[in-house]
Amino acid sequence: MEGVDHLAHERNKSEFDVDAMKIVWAGSPHAFVVSDRISKLVASDPGFRKDNRSTLSRKELFKNTLRKAAYAWKTIIDLHLSEEEAAKLRFYVDEPAFTDVHWGMFIPAIKGQGTEEQQQKWLPLAYKMQIIGCYAQTELGHGSNVQGLETTATFDPQTDEFIIHSPTLTSSKWWPGGLGKVATHAIAYALLIVGGREQGVHGFIVQLRSLEDHSPLPGMTVGDIGMKFGNGAYNAMDNGVLRFDHVRIPRNQMLMRVSQVTCEGKYKQSDVPRQLVYGAMLYVRQTIVADASCALSRAVCIATRYSAVRRQFGSQNGGPETQVIDYKTQQSRLFPLLASAYAFRFVGEWLKWLYADVTQRLQANDFSTLPEAHACTAGLKSLTTTATADGIEECRKLCGGHGYLCSSGLPELFAVYVPACTYEGENTVLLLQVARFLMKTVSQLGSSKKPVGTIAYMTRVEHLMQCRCGVQRGFAELSADLVEAAVAHCQLLVVSKFIEKLQQEIPGKGVKQQLEVLCNIYALFLLHKHQGDFLSTGCITPKHAALANDELRSLYSQVRPNAIALVDAFNYTDHYLGSILGCYDGNVYPKLYEAAWKDPLNESVVPDGYHQYIRPLLKQEIRTARL
């Protein structure tokens, strides 16, 4: 029945203060208040409804996304929302759109690679959305290999301009979000050519479309690259294709914080590392780790609530069947994902601090922690997105057949989420960057340069020094193993940051104890999953492995009575979850049944096509009719 909490008996089992855990999850009392208020504002506004998305055509979906983006912007202006509140509103609207890239990449790229003068010119226009930006780096022929990009930017000293050109088909810009139909400007990455010399890839601000009638400017061939994976909401994003035909831009539209070109045509490399050209990717990768904890927690919330509602087998003398959440197999699949959602939350908090710290140091021209920041953002982005994509799919399977319904929210969540394993750095390519960082550290062992920070533990691998044979040859040959070592390094980061979180003051009855259980589940599940490596390297004995497995089962039993409360702590509205299986009151079956009849296919009892195709079949008329 509506209004009845079918999960009340589960909530009454909780052994900790859920409201206090909500604040831990949000990050602070202030963050909780903002999140709670904005999520409810979005959920209560019919202008932000999303339950009809699966029935829309791509063009309807795209136009609806434009409407929502405009409506969101109007809401932000009318309610005088702060930047923090506006970001939360865009988050809870939960619609992949050009605004993600405008705010998440275009603006950070100008802030990180633009001069003060360029920031003062372009940021006010971008903040007021008087221009809409995209990040045009990837091309048809190159994505991972940034230095292989073919678009050219040739300086013309006669006119003090750059000529942006796509010399080959493979140099076509391909994938940039927002490029296809909406963006008026791009940060375009191109091979800089000055005085006939190539100077590497740099970023340029290029206007794409008229601000009067939105038509592409001369020399631009631009459009959408077509439908993407599944029928999910990511098809509301206009990932685009763009070819430049000798497009001229003023010299002052090259982002010049890292390098400069003078009006005389002199190329000047300032004393900052050229890698700052990659700065926007560093920023986005750290935000993607926080996004992973959100996406995984959504899927875990759905699967946990449904596992408590679903009963299958086990009825004694006509009594109720067993809740599937009580099966040890269900717990061994679900609870490590619940622990991972919390683990990624906390390592994401730490990574946000690390990024802020490296950004502050860069402003003082202190580049000492940039390599570590790159390795951490690259590695944790790779680890958390892979685990989250796999975790969402596991949550779908944990919900049985109903998990495959769009109304479960899981198929779309998966379809929208999985490209995170590829964009912002393909996950294996990023792990190779971590491996390179680790091997560089090994090569420096024994020197005066002692490993510090997240690699301080490596002083204990001095014995590896002997294997510094032909580092480059060895690296390529052993890259598959080194990628595994990179994952292990990042897992150490996740576990250690979870432990550091537990060393902080954590208010609320039973809250710290619950987090300790989740931290132990995360760590012991890793030990269990990789016990072959731990045993073969002598890190643990078979007895240790057995004890770890026993302890893991015991920890699952400790989580069980608190599972519903632990996902309630995410404080997601039913609107944001977008899932009948994960609805707060657990009243699943009536909602599933009611939702089925809303499908357009049920608008008529006799389906379109019956008279044309089915009736002739049934009446055996098909044999005579020509097919």
Ligand X SMILES: CCCCCCC/C=C/C(=O)SCCNC(=O)CCNC(=O)[C@H](O)C(C)(C)COP(=O)(O)OP(=O)(O)OC[C@H]1O[C@@H](n2cnc3c(N)ncnc32)[C@H](O)[C@@H]1OP(=O)(O)O
Binding site: what residues are annotated?
138, 177
Query: Which residues are documented as binding site for FAD?
Result: 138, 177
Crossing angle between the packed helical segments 511-529 and 18-26, to the nearest 10 degrees:
60
Asked if residue 39 binds ligand FAD (CB under 6 A), the reply is no
One-letter identity of residue 529: K
Q: Are 379 and 436 in contact (CB under 8 A)?
A: no
Complex with ligand FAD: residue 135 or 576, whichever CB lies closer:
135
Q: Where in 146-165 is the site for ligand X (CB under 6 A)?
A: 146-147
Give the shortest CB-403-to-ligand X separation in angstroms. Answer: 26
Q: Are 64 and 47 in contact (CB under 8 A)?
A: no
Q: Give the three-state DSSP class for 223.
A: strand
Asked if residue 385 binds ligand X (CB under 6 A), the reply is no
Q: Provide the pairing of β-strand 247-250 with 240-244.
A: unpaired
Closest by Cα among 164, 190, 174, 176 to 133: 176
Q: Give the three-state DSSP class for 254.
A: strand
Give the shortest CB-259-to-ligand FAD separation in angstroms. Answer: 20
Q: Which residue is nearest to ligand FAD (CB)?
A: 143
Whole-number Å distance between alpha carbons of 464 and 613: 71
The contacts of residue 547 (CB under 8 Å, 6+ apart) are none
Q: Where in 127-186 is the site for ligand FAD (CB under 6 A)?
A: 135-138, 143-144, 175-177
Q: Which of 349, 424, 551, 621 is catalytic?
A: 424
Paired tokens of 609: 């096509």
Paired tokens of 211: 């601000």
Q: Are 379 and 489 in contact (CB under 8 A)?
A: yes
Residue 104 contact partner, candidates ligand X, ligand FAD, none, CB within 5 to 8 A by sort of partner:
ligand X
Q: Where in 6-25 is the site for ligand FAD (CB under 6 A)?
A: none
Q: Where in 582-621 is the site for ligand X (CB under 6 A)?
A: none
Complex with ligand FAD: residue 469 or 476, whichever CB lies closer:
476
Q: Where in 91-130 is the site for ligand FAD (CB under 6 A)?
A: 101
Complex with ligand FAD: residue 107 or 526, whichever CB lies closer:
107
The contacts of residue 95 (CB under 8 Å, 6+ apart) are 50, 65, 68, 69, 233, 236
The contacts of residue 551 (CB under 8 Å, 6+ apart) are 520, 524
Degrees (nearest 5) of the Cα angle 102, 104, 109?
A: 85
Window 426-445: contact mask with ligand X (x via CB under 6 A): ---x---x--x---x-----
Window 506-535: contact mask with ligand X (x via CB under 6 A): ------------------------------
Q: Which stretch binds ligand X (CB under 6 A): 44-52, 130-138, 390-398, 487-495?
A: 130-138
Whole-number Å distance between alpha carbons of 254 and 118: 9
Residue 100 contact partner, candidates ligand X, ligand FAD, none, CB within 5 to 8 A by sort of partner:
ligand X
Asked if residue 424 binds ligand X (CB under 6 A), the reply is yes
Alpha carbon distances (Å) from 262 to 116, 199, 256, 316: 17, 14, 10, 84
Closest by Cα among 320, 321, 340 to 395: 340
Strand partners, 535: none
Degrees (nearest 5) of the Cα angle 576, 27, 378?
A: 85
Burial (Cβ within 10 Å: 0-12, 13-18, ≥19) of residue 316: exposed
Q: Are 400 and 309 in contact (CB under 8 A)?
A: no
- For residue 246, the 8-state DSSP code is S
Residue in 54, 170, 369, 428 binding ligand FAD, rule: CB under 6 A? 428
Burial (Cβ within 10 Å: 0-12, 13-18, ≥19) of residue 356: exposed
Strand partners, 164: 153, 247
Give the shortest CB-151-to-ligand X separation in angstroms. Answer: 14
Residue 447 contact partner, candidates ligand FAD, ligand X, none, CB within 5 to 8 A by sort of partner:
none
Asked if residue 282 binds ligand X (CB under 6 A), the reply is yes
Residue 284 contact partner, candidates ligand FAD, ligand X, none, CB within 5 to 8 A by sort of partner:
ligand X
Complex with ligand FAD: residue 97 or 337, whichever CB lies closer:
97
Closest by Cα among 417, 282, 437 to 358: 282
Residue in 66, 193, 272, 429 binding ligand FAD, rule: CB under 6 A? 429
2 assigned to active site: no
Residue 183 contact partner, candidates ligand X, ligand FAD, none, CB within 5 to 8 A by sort of partner:
none
Place of tokens 């006010």: 124
Residue 436 contact partner, candidates ligand X, ligand FAD, none, CB within 5 to 8 A by sort of partner:
ligand X
One-letter identity of residue 396: R
Complex with ligand FAD: residue 143 or 371, whichever CB lies closer:
143
Residue 239 contact partner, candidates ligand FAD, ligand X, none, CB within 5 to 8 A by sort of partner:
ligand FAD
Residue 278 contact partner, candidates ligand X, ligand FAD, none, CB within 5 to 8 A by sort of partner:
ligand X
Q: Where in 229-248 is the site for ligand FAD (CB under 6 A)?
A: 239
Whole-number Å distance between alpha carbons of 229 and 264: 48
- For residue 322, the 8-state DSSP code is P
Crossing angle between the packed helical segments 542-559 and 511-529, to the nearest 10 degrees:
140
Residue 370 contact partner, candidates ligand FAD, ligand X, none, CB within 5 to 8 A by sort of partner:
ligand X
Complex with ligand FAD: residue 75 or 382, whichever CB lies closer:
382
Complex with ligand X: residue 267 or 534, whichever CB lies closer:
267
Q: Is the dihedral of CA 505, 510, 511, 513 positive or negative?
A: positive
Q: How many residues bind ligand X (CB under 6 A)?
A: 28
Asked if residue 422 binds ligand FAD (CB under 6 A), the reply is yes
Count, residues in the chain: 627
Complex with ligand X: residue 152 or 382, whichever CB lies closer:
382
Complex with ligand X: residue 108 or 403, whichever CB lies closer:
108
Window 339-378: contact mask with ligand X (x via CB under 6 A): -------------------------------xx--x----
What is the binding site for ligand FAD (CB under 6 A)? 101, 135-138, 143-144, 175-177, 239, 419, 422-423, 425-426, 428-429, 432
Residues classed as catalytic:
424
Which parts of this chain interact with ligand X (CB under 6 A)? 100-101, 104-105, 135, 137-138, 144-147, 177, 275, 278, 281-282, 284, 287, 370-371, 374, 423-425, 429, 433, 436, 440
